[in-house]
Amino acid sequence: MTVTTAEPRTLAETALPVPPRPSRLWPTLIATAVGVIILASGAGLQISWAELPTLPAKVAEYLRLMFAAPNWEKLPRALEETWRSISMAWIGAILCVVISIPLGILAANGVGPRWLRTILRGMFAVIRAVPEVIIALVLLTVTGLTPLTGALALGIAGIGTQGKWVYETIESTRSGATEAVRAAGGTTAQVARWALWPAAAPSLMSFALYRFEINIRTSAVLGLVGAGGIGSMLSNYTNFREWDTVGMLLIVVVAATMLMDAISGAIRRRIMEGARSRGLGRNS
């Protein structure tokens, strides 16, 4: 009986085939197209590049005019208008949350029917595409130059973003409670009340407070188009070139915004940490 031995293979025979080098054609074309778009955008703006070196000196001069000696005589009125802006932001946030939470829950997968989810998500996308200023300008023809215009604009504009946050939060929750309620014969409303809301409430409340923070900043911008608040006062004194008063108003706006952000942030952290603490307590 003869035993045959296999001849040893060379390294070239045992090596795996080298895959072809990936094509760089499409990344190169995309990068080239992006570069062309950027250059075309810069050329279309008709920027005077020769004036760029003088901009730092001009900015420093206006900063000196505004903040070297701010005019504090208008401070009481500035605080009143700031409170009006905060009220606009708060009412807008409440309006946004009250509408977006039920609609966002219905737009989540596994809650509302497919046709309804498609309509609601499309509506949220359309609202997100329209800036708050445009909504305020449209509402001005109906409600006039009043703080109500700003509050409604903030509330309507926030529905798009808030609604998306709601259905994404609902979809990220565990499905065990939802399945249990459905197995017990629960309706969609009962599923939302007893399964989805307890799990998503801390995150949704946190998002609602964050919406309020955004509205605080946006309310000052809406005032520039006549919606009332500190923005209107800032626009008026800027038009009259009273830079010392403008500087005081900017200080008030920044201080009020930072204060509201700090308070809202502390409440949001308490909501989230409290939710985690309660969860740990139940598991222990």
pLDDT digits (tens, 9 = 90+) for 32-56: 988 888 888 777 777 777 777 888 8
Asked whether residue 123 carries a pLDDT value surpassing 90, the answer given is yes
Band the pLDDT of 275: cuts 50, 70, 90.
low
Can you tell me the mean pLDDT for 204-209? 83
In this structure, is residue 60 part of a structural domain? no
The CATH number covering residue 193 comes to 1.10.3720.10
Band the pLDDT of 284: cuts 50, 70, 90.
very low
In this structure, is residue 12 part of a structural domain? no
DSSP class of residue 73 equals G
The residue that leads in pLDDT, 112 or 279, is: 112
Residue 21's pLDDT is 74
Q: How far apart are CA 229 and CA 222, in angstroms?
A: 8
The residue that leads in pLDDT, 99 or 220, is: 99
pTM of structure: 0.71
pLDDT digits (tens, 9 = 90+) for 178-192: 667 666 776 767 777
Band the pLDDT of 119: cuts 50, 70, 90.
very high
In this structure, is residue 6 part of a structural domain? no
Residue 126's pLDDT is 92
Residue 122's pLDDT is 92
pLDDT digits (tens, 9 = 90+) for 58-112: 888 888 888 888 888 888 888 988 888 888 888 888 999 899 988 988 888 878 7
In this structure, is residue 1 part of a structural domain? no
Band the pLDDT of 169: cuts 50, 70, 90.
confident
Residue 6's pLDDT is 53
In this structure, is residue 183 part of a structural domain? yes
Q: How far apart are CA 169 and CA 101, in angstroms?
A: 11
Query: Taking a C-beta distance cutoff of 8 angstroms, is the pair 158, 212 a contact?
Result: no
Query: Taking a C-beta distance cutoff of 8 angstroms, is the pair 140, 149 a contact?
Result: yes
In this structure, is residue 19 part of a structural domain? no
The residue that leads in pLDDT, 258 or 198, is: 258
Six token digits for residue 30: 């995309």
Number of structural domains (the chain) is 1
Asked whether residue 282 carries a pLDDT value surpassing 60, the answer given is no
In this structure, is residue 167 part of a structural domain? yes
Six token digits for residue 191: 């599923």
Q: How far apart are CA 151 and CA 131, in angstroms?
A: 14
Asked whether residue 165 carries a pLDDT value surpassing 50, the answer given is yes
Can you tell me the mean pLDDT for 218-233? 78
In this structure, is residue 62 part of a structural domain? no
Q: How far apart are CA 78 and CA 160, in angstroms?
A: 31
Q: Which amino acid is at 213?
A: E
Q: Which amino acid is at 125?
A: A
Q: How far apart are CA 52 and CA 70, in angstroms?
A: 28
Query: Taking a C-beta distance cutoff of 8 angstroms, is the pair 231, 221 a contact?
Result: yes
pLDDT-above-90 percentage for the chain: 5
Structural domain including 122 reads 72-283
